[in-house]
Amino acid sequence: MDLGPSETQQVLKRTAREFLQTVVNPAIVRQMEEDRIGFDPAVWKQVCELGWTGLMIPEEYGGQGGDVSDMAILFEEVGRSLLPSPLFASGVEAALTILALGSEEQKRDLLPKLASGEKIFVVALTEPTGTYDAWGVETRAERSGNGWKLTGTKLYISYAHVADLLIVAARSGEGDDAIAFFLVDPKVNGVKLTILDTIGKDHQYIVELDGAEAEAVLGPERGGWSAFQDVLAKAAVVHSAASIGAAERCLELAVDYSKQRVQFGRPIGSFQALQHKMARVVTEITGAQLCVYEAAYRLAVGQDARLEVAIAKAAASDAYTNASIEGCHIHGGAGFIRGSEMELYFRKAKGAEVILGHPRWHKKRVTALLAEMAQPAEHH
Amino acid sequence: MDFTFPEAAEKFRLEVREFLKRELTPEIRDEYAHCTDYPHGFNKAFTRKLGQKGWLTLTWPKEYGGMGMDVWHRLVFDEEMAAAHAPVAAHQVAANFVGPALIHYGTEEQKKKYLPPIARGESTWSVGMTEANAGTDLASIETRAVRDGDEWVINGNKMYTEHLQDSDYYWVLVRTDPSAERHRGISIMVLDMKTPGIQMLPLWTMDGYRVNQVYFEDVRVPADAVLGELNRGFYHLAMTLNTMRSAGLGGWTETRRDLEDLVLYAKETKVNGRPLIEDDWVQNGLAEFMIHNQISRLLAYRVASMLENGGPAPDRETAVRQVWTKTYGQLHVKFACDVIGMGSQVGHYSPKFAPLAARWERRYMGSIAGAHNGGTPENALNTVALRVLGLPR
Ligand SMILES: Cc1cc2nc3c(=O)[nH]c(=O)nc-3n(C[C@H](O)[C@H](O)[C@H](O)COP(=O)(O)OP(=O)(O)OC[C@H]3O[C@@H](n4cnc5c(N)ncnc54)[C@H](O)[C@@H]3O)c2cc1C
């Protein structure tokens, strides 16, 4: 039991940090928020060359053959750096979806392109209700000749504007089983993309589908939803790892600032009220990080991880949100001026909190699982 | 990345479980649930049985009566003991606090004299740090030991000492050089409880447990009663406190049982025909209780994994774990009482109307002492701020 990154993973983490320090900084993050594309194509090319897009893709499909715990370790650094890029959308969500659902032929076709960075794929799941439950998929799929036509509104779809292919969840009838995942070229008639104004200015899109024609169904026409649960679990854990990395940076900023900033003739970091805030933050981060690692581990080795994933996402999101709030407070005025590093994390933390299940949603799952497991015990 | 126990430790778990099933008789269980003097059950005979198996000192070196096993064995043992509500008060301090300290800084003679009986579960120890005027600020202790020929003569007081009424030895912090800077004139001594001049008065906690107020009046101890280096006691203490705080790593299992029972209660109890667990606030609170318990477990494992890799208890992990348990324990006791509602005030003398056998009425009262025993929550936060984050004083 080592409860943390292996030696190889530590190397991955170190190299990632070194690379990211050279390609991204707060000014770049800020600039990309206003940029039409939202990321630097030259940096994206480097990211793909490093093999990050294909990190979880088996070697036979052109990837690195790593697992979700490798990706989680990498994303601690990605999250910390706030790197603007479609890495999560394509390299995590789409890659996992294609792996979980795609036919052999589809995997052979799509995954190498995704891994090399030649193509960007984006999953379009969520809708205006914002839920990750099956009932939230209201987009309809109707047969038309040999194919399918999709109608509905997808919301919160990151980097849809640079997608070569959208993977759209839609239903052809009632029940979870009637949900399938359709491959849609965003350039066809009936697809309209509009940027969503978000607090994180992180290029999420409104995807309006009005009889848009699908190229194909990814994998089976029925039963995709239950296979997709594994994708949601892994994506949630990777995103939680990103939150841990970002939260650590918030704490670092707060600690550094409080050692330098002097008021009443003393560094403000010597005030116990602030010390205790930071001590709580580091405690929450340490705890949440262990939860994320355990969930990643269980998913990687194929154990039931429903409880651990829900715990990880809830704990990591709560830790990041709190670290960003306290970090801003500790910076005083310097924490709310646009362009300060602290305010960047504060705004990005909101998106990290609500994506892939708000902590409240995951807590409901935790209790549901506990209730399922609770048995009258004879040992008392 | 690995989150599994070594196979040998898992096998050992079954052995411990089997043993506890057999040896934890209904009488001992009952004693634990309703015992008056101790929050964690005191049973010398049971402790001796554990000693005979070598389980009190699983990780000690063999030469001092230990089993030379890895920390995972000890963790497994702690987990099973806590989950089974097995009594630990007769050995806890000796085996997990005094023993490791002696191994670290005792003389060879002291080790030979004190360690084997601890390993056999035959000697019970108490620890006397806190005084009337020295709590969190331990460097301000006033109890003095003055050299007189071959002996030390001790005068002063100690506060809140647990189970001293049943102890054979008393590990105390005393001032041996009043002229030195206050951290530098402190030593650790061992008192045989048969020594004349030690007087104790019981103090009762609100939930009915006994702690002691102690007075020393010209208590004479031999020169070799000093443990470790003379006047370096405060520095020995820091390391020993860490060791003490890394004991009880299995304690989360007891809380997990509490939580499972509470979930069951919330499932089965109906309010106006609707199960409690369908209320949003109950769901959210149970989930947070579970998340925090999971983190307690993982932090305990983390501390254990650091111990395993050699060396004393890790500062950072130990300190963070202290904040965790001391900050959140209270919260969930309060929450459990909220779930139980009116019935949360009922004690076990009214069993018919005491939900969950009045466990939460007891836990509620115990939650304050639980947070302060061994260092207060604020002290834990200070330690993290100053030692882990390096914030200025
Ligand atoms: C059930 C029980 C059993 C115990 N058993 C033993 C035992 O066997 N042996 C033993 O030696 N002791 C024992 N203790 C004593 C325990 O270790 C002390 O209660 C504890 O260290 C706090 O000391 P105090 O009670 O004097 O409180 P104080 O130190 O006076 O603290 C009072 C309040 O002030 C706060 N405070 C103090 N200093 C600071 C600071 N620097 N910054 C912020 N806040 C601060 C504290 O957090 C607390 O809230 C026991 C206590 C209990 C409750």
Ligand 1 pocket residue status of B129, Cβ below 6 Å = yes
For residue A360, which residues of chain B lie inside 8 Å, CB to CB?
Answer: 284
B26, closest residue in chain A (CA to CA): A380
Residue A324 lies in a domain: yes
Nearest CA to ligand 1 atom 6: B161
A248, closest residue in chain B (CA to CA): B389
Q: Which two tokens stand for residue B137?
A: 């600020």
B199 contacts chain A (CB < 8 A): no
CA of B188 to the centre of ligand 1 (A): 19
| Chain B residues 64-103 with CB within 8 Å of chain A | 72, 83-84
CATH 2.40.110.10 holds for B127-229: yes
- Locate the ligand 1 atom nearest the alpha carbon of residue B377 and give its number: 47
pTM, entire model = 0.95
Residue A380 lies in a domain: no
- Element housing B204 (H / E): strand B198-204
Q: Helix (H, G, I), strand (E, B), or coil: what is residue B238?
A: helix
The answer to whether A258 contacts B391, with C-beta atoms less than 8 Å apart, is yes
- What is the pLDDT at residue A236? 98
Strands B210-222 and B151-162, bridge-based pairing: antiparallel
Regarding the domain delimited by B251-388, which CATH topology (the fold level of the hierarchy) does it fall under? Answer: Butyryl-CoA Dehydrogenase, subunit A; domain 3 (1.20.140)
Ligand 1 pocket residue status of B378, Cβ below 6 Å = yes
Same domain, yes or no: A199 and A80: no
Same domain, yes or no: A140 and A89: no
Q: Which two tokens stand for residue A163?
A: 């997608």
- What is the pLDDT at residue B309? 66
Contact between B123 and B169 under an 8 Å Cβ cutoff? The reply is: yes
Contact between A23 and A52 under an 8 Å Cβ cutoff? The reply is: no
- Residue by residue, what is the 3-state secondary structure of A179-228? EEEEEECCCCCCEEEEECCCCCCCCEEEEEEEEEECCEECCCCCCHHHHH
Ligand 1 pocket residue status of B313, Cβ below 6 Å = no
List the single residue in B264, B288, B298 with the smallest CB-CB distance to A290.
B298
Rounded to a whole number, what is the distance in angstroms from the first to the last CA of chain B?
37
ipTM value > 0.85:
yes
- Locate the ligand 1 atom nearest the alpha carbon of residue B138 and give its number: 21
The answer to whether A3 contacts B299, with C-beta atoms less than 8 Å apart, is no
Residue A208 lies in a domain: yes
Nearest CA to ligand 1 atom 35: B378
Same domain, yes or no: A231 and A326: yes
- Residue by residue, what is the 3-state secondary structure of chain A? CCCCCCHHHHHHHHHHHHHHHHHCCHHHHHHHHHCCCCCCHHHHHHHHHCCCCCCCCCHHHCCCCCCHHHHHHHHHHHHHHCCCCCHHHHHHHHHHHHHHHCCHHHHHHHHHHHHHCCCCEEEECCCCCCCCCHHHCCCEEEEECCEEEEEEEEEEEECHHHCCEEEEEEECCCCHHHEEEEEECCCCCCEEEEECCCCCCCCEEEEEEEEEECCEECCCCCCHHHHHHHHHHHHHHHHHHHHHHHHHHHHHHHHHHHHHCEECCEEHHHCHHHHHHHHHHHHHHHHHHHHHHHHHHHHHHCCCCHHHHHHHHHHHHHHHHHHHHHHHHHHHHHHCCCCCHHHHHHHHHHHHHHCCCCHHHHHHHHHHHHHHHCCCCCCC
The answer to whether B295 contacts A315, with C-beta atoms less than 8 Å apart, is yes
Nearest to A99 by CA among A218, A255, A270: A218
Q: What CATH number should be reported for the domain holding residue A134?
A: 2.40.110.10
Residue A72 lies in a domain: yes
Same domain, yes or no: A194 and A237: no
Same domain, yes or no: A211 and A335: no
Structural domain containing residue A55? 7-119
Alpha-carbon span A39 to A33, nearest angstrom: 8
List the single residue in B287, B378, B385 with the smallest CB-CB distance to A367.
B287
Please state the separation of Cα B186 from the chain's center in Å.
Answer: 23
A99, A119, A139 — which closes off a domain? A119
Q: Name the residue with tokens 């690692």.
A: A293
Same domain, yes or no: A93 and A150: no
Alpha-carbon span B367 to B363, nearest angstrom: 6
Q: How many domains does chain A have?
A: 3
**Alpha-carbon distance B10 to nearest alpha carbon in chain A (angstroms):** 12
Same domain, yes or no: A108 and A230: no
Ligand 1 pocket test: pick from B167, B216, B373 the residue with the most ligand atoms within 8 Å of its Cβ: B373
A268, closest residue in chain B (CA to CA): B392
Same domain, yes or no: A177 and A243: no
**Alpha-carbon distance B298 to nearest alpha carbon in chain A (angstroms):** 6
CA of B254 to the centre of ligand 1 (A): 24
The answer to whether A298 contacts B3, with C-beta atoms less than 8 Å apart, is yes
Q: From the CB of residue B160, how many other CB atoms can be counted at a distance below 10 Å? A: 20
Q: Which amino acid is at B50?
A: L
A78, A95, A119 — which closes off a domain? A119
Torsion of CA B222, B227, B228, B230, to 10 degrees: -50
Q: Which two tokens stand for residue A34?
A: 């206003």
Q: What is the pLDDT of residues B329-365, one digit of tens each?
A: 889 999 999 999 999 999 989 999 999 999 999 999 9
Q: What CATH number should be reported for the domain holding residue A359?
A: 1.20.140.10
For residue A314, which residues of chain B lie inside 8 Å, CB to CB?
Answer: 287, 291
Residue A259 lies in a domain: yes
**CA dist A278 → A275, A329, B176, B388 (Å):** 5, 11, 37, 10
In the predicted model, residues of chain B with pLDDT beneath 70 are 33-39, 309-312
A271, closest residue in chain B (CA to CA): B393
Q: What CATH number should be reported for the domain holding residue A14?
A: 1.10.540.10
Same domain, yes or no: A245 and A234: yes
Q: Name the residue with tokens 């000693």.
A: B51
Contact between B231 and B187 under an 8 Å Cβ cutoff? The reply is: yes
CA of A190 to the centre of ligand 1 (A): 69
- What is the pLDDT at residue B310? 61
CA of B378 to the centre of ligand 1 (A): 10
Q: Which amino acid is at A29?
A: V
List the single residue in A258, A371, A377 with the smallest CB-CB distance to B277.
A371
For residue B304, which residues of chain A lie inside 8 Å, CB to CB?
Answer: 1
Contact between B234 and B138 under an 8 Å Cβ cutoff? The reply is: yes
A84, A119, A154 — which closes off a domain? A119
Ligand 1 pocket residue status of B114, Cβ below 6 Å = no
Best A1, A298, A378 residue to mutate vs chain B (most B CBs within 10 Å): A1
For residue A1, which residues of chain B lie inside 8 Å, CB to CB?
Answer: 2-6, 72, 301, 304-305
For residue B324, which residues of chain A lie inside 8 Å, CB to CB?
Answer: 283, 287
- What is the pLDDT at residue B239? 77
Residue A2 lies in a domain: no
Contact between B106 and B227 under an 8 Å Cβ cutoff? The reply is: yes
For residue A266, which residues of chain B lie inside 8 Å, CB to CB?
Answer: 392
Q: Which two tokens stand for residue A183?
A: 């491959």
- Locate the ligand 1 atom nearest the alpha carbon of residue B376 and give its number: 47
Same domain, yes or no: A269 and A229: yes
CA of A326 to the centre of ligand 1 (A): 28
Q: From the CB of residue A144, how many other CB atoms can be counted at a distance below 10 Å? A: 12
Alpha-carbon span A368 to A362, nearest angstrom: 10
CATH annotation of B7-123? 1.10.540.10
CB contact set of A130 (below 8 Å; sequence gap of 6+)? A136, A155, A156, A354
CA of B203 to the centre of ligand 1 (A): 15
Domain range summary for chain B, segments of one domain joined by +: 7-123, 127-229, 251-388
Please state the separation of Cα B6 from the chain's center in Å.
Answer: 26
Alpha-carbon span B180 to B186, nearest angstrom: 9
- Element housing B188 (H / E): strand B186-192
- What is the pLDDT at residue A380? 44
Q: Which two tokens stand for residue A318?
A: 């709560």
**Alpha-carbon distance B44 to nearest alpha carbon in chain A (angstroms):** 22
In the predicted model, residues of chain A with pLDDT beneath 50 are 379-380
For residue B287, which residues of chain A lie inside 8 Å, CB to CB?
Answer: 314, 362-367, 370
Nearest to B285 by CA among B321, B254, B331: B331
DSSP annotation of B88: -
Alpha-carbon span B176 to B233, nearest angstrom: 10
Best A275, A303, A304 residue to mutate vs chain B (most B CBs within 10 Å): A275
Alpha-carbon span A314 to A292, nearest angstrom: 10
The phi and psi torsions of A84 (rounded to 5 degrees) equal -80, 120
CA of B376 to the centre of ligand 1 (A): 5
For residue A365, which residues of chain B lie inside 8 Å, CB to CB?
Answer: 287
The answer to whether B3 contacts A293, with C-beta atoms less than 8 Å apart, is yes
Alpha-carbon span A118 to B387, nearest angstrom: 49
The answer to whether B385 contacts A279, with C-beta atoms less than 8 Å apart, is yes
